[in-house]
Every structure is written in structure tokens, then in C-alpha cells.
Amino acid sequence: AQTVTQSQPEMSVQEAETVTLSCTYDTSENNYYLFWYKQPPSRQMILVIRQEAYKQQNATENRFSVNFQKAAKSFSLKISDSQLGDTAMYFCAFMGFQGAQKLVFGQGTRLTINP
Amino acid sequence: DAGVIQSPRHEVTEMGQEVTLRCKPISGHDYLFWYRQTMMRGLELLIYFNNNVPIDDSGMPEDRFSAKMPNASFSTLKIQPSEPRDSAVYFCASRVLAGASGADTQYFGPGTRLTVL
């Protein structure tokens, strides 16, 4: 079974700084998807960024980018020029190509951006 | 598009009562998922449907939980009888048609916060 681990329960940075959230996963599959979701206090789950494992190029979405290391099974999220609105829980998630089409989530990292 | 719609947003009930949570997926999406979020267990999948048919209900905690999808635009998650340990946020999510651009991405509703007293 796949597992996703986020080793940083909480992080805090100053506004405009860059912050990196860590995520590792375990799977025997070769093709899969990885995601970062953001959950602000409103509790809405919002997709931040997605990565297909068969693509070597790291995904980017404006201030958000990932460092995908397939061999190391690592998928970190970098937030550049952090903003107060980035304050939220961040969840890393895995979905395999085969079998159940379900997301497996990590435990989450609570990120606080301070003014 | 209005996104995934869930109702109610909040539900407070007493132990032993029946609770029904509702979900309307994004039009055209052929997968629908029910998740539960608690502090202790995080986000966990309860059940998912493909083309209105339940595919995997292995995450449903016990017989008190049941889910239906009578048509492509509506699903319910029912708890009968409810217990205090069922208190959680329940999310519904849907996924675009397989093969379409972005087919791998699940879009979540706003969730229903359930409190069982």
C-alpha cells in the first residue's frame, strides 16, 4: 500500500520569504500522480500543484514549484515570495495509475506566514 | 462552473439520530469520492463511485454508514445511527472524465462539519 509522509507538522516564516515543505512517499508503481493541496481556515481543499511521475520537468504554478525526485521518492513544495494568504494546512497526496483511483494523503503541514 | 456542492455545511445532531450528507459533483465528472477528515486519522477515503456505481467501499467504517449515487448529479452519505465518534468534516470530491485534460485531478467541495452530541 502507498504511504505519504510529511515530516514537518508546523512551519512559520515571515512574509516575502521562501519556504519549502517536505513530502516523501512509498510506492511500487512506476507511473503515478502527486499533488499538493492547500486547506485554509475555511477548510476548503484547494489544488495547488500537480506532477505526473513520468514527466521529468518539475511543475510550477506562479509562486509555487515542486522539486520532484523520483528515485528518492521525494516531492517538496517551494513557495516563493510568501504571502499572508498562504497561511494554511498543506497536504501532499499520491494517486496511482493502477487499482483504486483514490488519493492517499500525508498528515499535513501547518504553515503560518507572519507579517 | 459552480464546483462541487455539499449540503449542509454544518450539522449538529444527537447520538442515535440519522444524518444525511449531500453532494452534487461537477457536471460531466464521472468519479465521485467521499472523504472524512479528523484530527486523529487525517483525510481518509470512505467510498468512491464511477458512473454512479460504487467501486471501493473498503473505507466505510461500519454498517452504520451507507452511500448512494442515484444519478450522475447527486450522491448521499448516510449515518444511522450516528455516534459522537462520527464527528468530523466530510468532503465530497469529483474527477473529470478519464482521458480528458486534468483527468487525474480531484476537485473538492467545501465539506460538511458534523458534530454528534
Residue-wise pLDDT tens digits, A15-37: 999 999 999 999 998 889 999 99
pLDDT confidence of residue A12: 97
* pLDDT tens digits, B58-89: 999 889 999 999 999 999 999 999 999 999 99
pLDDT confidence of residue B99: 61
The DSSP string of B30-81 is -EEEEEEEETTTEEEEEEEEETTEEEE-TT--STTEEEEEEETTEEEEEESS
In the predicted model, what is the mean pLDDT of chain B? Answer: 92
pLDDT at B100 over 60: no
Nearest-10 Cα torsion for A81, A83, A87, A89? -40
Instruction: Give the residue with greater pLDDT, B9 vs A55.
Output: B9
* pLDDT tens digits, A73-84: 999 999 999 999
Cβ separation of A44 and B42 shorter than 8 Å? no
CA A13 to chain B, closest CA, distance in angstroms equals 24
CA B87 to chain A, closest CA, distance in angstroms equals 15
Size of interface A-B (CB pairs under 8 A): 45
* Nearest CA-CA partner of A3 in A98, A71, A105, A79: A105
Question: Residue A55 — very low, low, confident or very high, per pLDDT cuts 50/70/90?
Answer: confident
d(CA A87, CA A108): 13
Q: HSE, CB side, 13 Å, CA atoms: give it for residue B114.
A: 30
- Compute chain B's Rg from CA coordinates: 14
CA A75 to chain B, closest CA, distance in angstroms equals 17
Cβ separation of B105 and A50 shorter than 8 Å? yes
Residue A21, beta-bridge partner list: A77
Question: Residue B22 — very low, low, confident or very high, per pLDDT cuts 50/70/90?
Answer: very high
Is A79:A17 a contact under the CB 8 Å cutoff? no
The reply to whether B73 touches chain A by the CB within 8 Å rule is no
